[in-house]
Chains A and B, each alone.
Chain A
Amino acid sequence: GAVVSQHPSRVICKSGTSVKIECRSLDFQATTMFWYRQFPKKSLMLMATSNEGSKATYEQGVEKDKFLINHASLTLSTLTVTSAHPEDSSFYICSAREPAPHSTLPDTQYFGPGTRLTVL
C-alpha cells in the first residue's frame, strides 16, 4: 500500500513552546490529509481535514488557533501545536487520502506512524 511518513516520531518540549509535526505522502499525491489525536487506549479523534491550497476544516471543539495546519504541497501537511501545554500531550497521527484508480471507487486513507508529543 501507499506510504505516509511523519516527523518527528517523538518530541518532548517545554510548556509554552510551539511544536511542528510533518506528514508526507511518499509515493502518491494527496490533495487531502487528515490529522487525528489518540488518547491512551482510545480510538482516533479527527481534529481537522487538511486540503492542499486551502484552509483546513476543523472539527467541532478543536481550537484552530492552537492547532495550525498548513498543506503546502500535494505531499506535505504540517500541524503546529502552538503554546503547547501538558494537556496537549498525546499521540498525533496523520493520514493521507490516496486517489482511487477510478472515479467510481472511493479513495483510501493511509496512515503515518504517529508522533508522540510530551509537554513538560
Chain B
Amino acid sequence: AQSVTQPDIHITVSEGASLELRCNYSYGATPYLFWYVQSPGQGLQLLLKYFSGDTLVQGIKGFEAEFKRSQSSFNLRKPSVHWSDAAEYFCAVLKTSYDKVIFGPGTSLSVIP
C-alpha cells in the first residue's frame, strides 16, 4: 500500500538556522508530491508541489523542496527559519489525479528565538 513517512515527529531549531524536514514515500512510480503547513487551530496551506520536471521546487514563504527519485524522498528546506514558521508540516502524495491525497503523520516545528 502506498504510504508517506515523516521520520521526525518534532524538530526544534533556532531562529535564523537552516531547516530540513524529511519526507519519504513508498510507491512504485513517481507520485505527485505536496507540502502543506498548518498553524495551530488553522487549516492547511499549500507550500509547494511537484508534478514533474525540475526536481528542485520553489514554494511560498522561502521554502523549497527537492525530489529525489533514487531515495523516494521529497525533503522540505528553508535556509533561514523565522519564528513565524513554527507550525505543523505535512507531506502528502497523490498517486494519480483521481486518487485521494495521502498525508504523512506530520512534523511539528518549534523555533527558538
Interface residues of A (CB under 8 A from B): 1, 4, 6, 34, 41-44, 46, 49, 91, 93, 95, 100, 105-114, 116
Contacts and interface: CB of A to CB of B under 8 A. Distances in A.
Interface of B: 32, 34, 36, 41-46, 49, 51, 90, 94, 96-97, 100-101, 103-106, 108
Contacts of B51: 105-106
Contacts of A49: 100
Given A43-B104, A44-B90, A106 B32 contact: yes
B104 A111 contact: no
Given A43-B103, A44-B103, A105-B97, 19 more contacts: A1-B46, A34-B100, A34-B101, A42-B105, A42-B106, A43-B104, A43-B106, A44-B44, A44-B90, A93-B44, A107-B97, A109-B34, A109-B101, A111-B36, A111-B43, A111-B45, A111-B46, A113-B43, A114-B43
A114 B100 contact: no
B45 to A, nearest CB: 7
A93 B42 CA distance: 9
